[in-house]
A and B are shown apart, each in its own frame.
Chain A
Amino acid sequence: MMSLIIYKSILVLIVFGITLFIAMYSTYAERKIAAFLQDRLGPNRAGPFGILQPVADGLKMFMKEEIIPGVSNKFLFILGPSLSMLTCLMTGTVIPWGSSLHIGGGEYSLQVADVNIGILYLLGVTSVGVYGIMIGGWASNNKFALLGALRASSQMISYELGMGLAIIALVMTTGTLSIGEIAAQQHGGHWNIIYQPLGFLIFIICAFAETNRAPFDLPECETELVGGYHTEYSSMKLGFYLFAEYINMFISSAIIATLYFGGFNMPFIGRFIHEPNTLVLLGTFFLFSKIFFFIFLFMWVRWTLPRFRYDQLMNLGWKGLIPLAILNIAITGIVMWLTGKIN
């Protein structure tokens, strides 16, 4: 029991560290990719190829003057970014980063907590994440920030529905709510994307909206809202908000890769390598390559598409994605009935 707790704590710390590290370098990657897509070079001064840029950025964030507006609710003002950060870090615990390692007779799962309602936990925690934005926007006592926060919460509600419905169809085919189980089921090339292409499309669009990334970045719209929900924030509190967005992006990519793209599975690899522990570590490697691809996709889309207008956003969510998701559920049900999976 004790060793299990120690093992899990170490795993949590590692997941934490990796998440923060990847989020840190996502900021760098974002700038580099943006530059490359626009025929520029991007940061290249701090260190070779500018790889020390995130360190410099972080240092700058810490050194900046910290301003808390006098009219704001101080407690909530500080709570906002902390909550954003907390919730997005919490989601990393239910993602299976690989199957189980066998060390000295013991079996060590690379998933911190294989709760059997993992998907519900994910949906719940990500919805709490919007409280961070909402509280921050409200506590600033600034109309622009409040508008940004309102947009964020209404967008979150609209797209959470579509996402939930897309997942229902997925749960119908997999028959489980445990993420570890879903990942394991996709062994041998049975990736869910093959069975749920429409569901995947809906899910990924909703994931874009939930992470507040372009083209869904209405909560932070410089042209209309000065800065959006973080208008009044400065220094590292602003850094937390921006950082939370990158962590969210990483976790979203991990979820997409796990739910629809086989997670740590890679077809045919078992034919060449038989040593189980190597296979597990390779699986983690594959998972991360999938994650990086999706992070790249997030950025690629961001620097391609312009931001939605607010009514377009709402139309897409309520009149587009939700009916489509319901249709998807119906189709999934009919196909399952026809193939005799249910009777």
Chain B
Amino acid sequence: MQSLTNRSKQVSNKEMTLIERAYLPAILNGMLITIKHFFRKKATIKYPEVKREFAPVYRGMHVLKRDENGAERCTACGLCAVACPAEAITMTSAERKPGEEKLFREEKYASVYEINMLRCIFCGDCEDACPKEAIFLTDRIVPSDSLREKFVYGKDLLVEGVEENKRVDISKRQTKEVLEFKNNKELQHNRLK
């Protein structure tokens, strides 16, 4: 049988020799192994000072994007809520009043948009489902808390700021390939819309 790793050992019921039964060579061998680790480079990352780099595809806390003019892109179509396997997203839609064009891009917008971060499994399906490029997962981590209520994130936490420096960078997730993929009507997932 082919083994999965190169570390497998043949097992046998052979009687141990006197040297083996004295265990001392085995013990010394073990101590040699541990002392080698003593001088090895350590795997620990000192967290607050040094941060571990995330993979570009890391899926963390969501962001609701604004467009170039600062208007919210989300049109409260509900596709993300439908796509969400964990049913973490709920929203209430509202109609845009005259004079609010600066705030919302489409005639319909989400007056309430909530993601329950305890339900979310960070699968990224909402991101894939969104036709308006409104929701993205980012490299930010959802902070911990001791109260469950605090994990229902509303628009106050999800929508990015208007100012240039408060925008959340999602360019790594919005590559040309992704856009192409989204526009490919051949694919099952895009046909459904």
> Nearest Cβ in chain A — how far from B59, in angstroms?
28
- Interface membership of chain B positions 112-125, coded 1 if the CB is closer than 8 angstroms to chain A and 0 otherwise: 00000000000000
**B35 within 8 Å of A (CB atoms):** yes
Contact for A39 among B30, B33, B37, CB less than 8 A: B37
CA–CA, A73 to B37, complex, Å?
Answer: 46
**B14 within 8 Å of A (CB atoms):** no
The answer to whether A304 and B46 touch across the interface, beta carbons within 8 angstroms, is no
Chain A residues with Cβ below 8 Å from B31 are 300-301, 304
Interface hits, A259-310 → B, CB 8 Å: 300-301, 303-305
> Nearest Cβ in chain A — how far from B51, in angstroms?
16
Contact for B35 among A38, A39, A40, A300, CB less than 8 A: A300
**B97 within 8 Å of A (CB atoms):** no
Chain A residues with Cβ below 8 Å from B38 are 33, 36-37
Interface hits, B1-50 → A, CB 8 Å: 27, 30-31, 33-35, 37-38, 40-44, 46
Interface hits, A13-53 → B, CB 8 Å: 33, 36-41, 44
Count of residues in B whose CB is under 8 Å from the partner chain: 14
**A201 (CB) vs chain B CBs: closest residue:** B24
Chain A residues with Cβ below 8 Å from B35 are 37, 300
Chain B residues with Cβ below 8 Å from A301 are 27, 31
Chain A residues with Cβ below 8 Å from B34 are 37, 300, 303-304
The answer to whether B44 and A41 touch across the interface, beta carbons within 8 angstroms, is yes
The answer to whether B27 and A305 touch across the interface, beta carbons within 8 angstroms, is yes
Interface size range of chain A in the complex: 10 to 19
**A40 (CB) vs chain B CBs: closest residue:** B44
CA–CA, A37 to B31, complex, Å?
Answer: 10
> Nearest Cβ in chain A — how far from B22, in angstroms?
9
Q: Which residues of B contact A (CB under 8 A)?
A: 27, 30-31, 33-35, 37-38, 40-44, 46
Q: Which residues of A contact B (CB under 8 A)?
A: 33, 36-41, 44, 300-301, 303-305
Chain B residues with Cβ below 8 Å from A37 are 34-35, 37-38
CA–CA, A328 to B133, complex, Å?
Answer: 82
Are A305 and B42 also in contact (CB < 8 A) when A38-B37, A39-B37 are? no
Chain B residues with Cβ below 8 Å from A41 are 42, 44, 46
The answer to whether B30 and A305 touch across the interface, beta carbons within 8 angstroms, is yes
The answer to whether B43 and A39 touch across the interface, beta carbons within 8 angstroms, is yes
13 example contacts (A-B, Cβ-Cβ < 8 A) are as follows A33-B38, A37-B34, A37-B37, A39-B37, A39-B42, A39-B43, A40-B42, A44-B46, A300-B31, A301-B27, A301-B31, A304-B27, A304-B31
Chain A residues with Cβ below 8 Å from B41 are 39
CA–CA, A14 to B37, complex, Å?
Answer: 36
Most A-side CB within 10 Å, residue of B33, B34, B37: B34
CA–CA, A301 to B37, complex, Å?
Answer: 14
Chain A residues with Cβ below 8 Å from B37 are 36-39
> Nearest Cβ in chain B — how far from A141, in angstroms?
36
CA–CA, A164 to B31, complex, Å?
Answer: 27
The answer to whether A39 and B40 touch across the interface, beta carbons within 8 angstroms, is yes
Chain B residues with Cβ below 8 Å from A305 are 27, 30
> Nearest Cβ in chain B — how far from A307, in angstroms?
14
Are A40 and B43 also in contact (CB < 8 A) when A300-B34, A304-B34 are? yes
> Nearest Cβ in chain B — how far from A320, in angstroms?
9
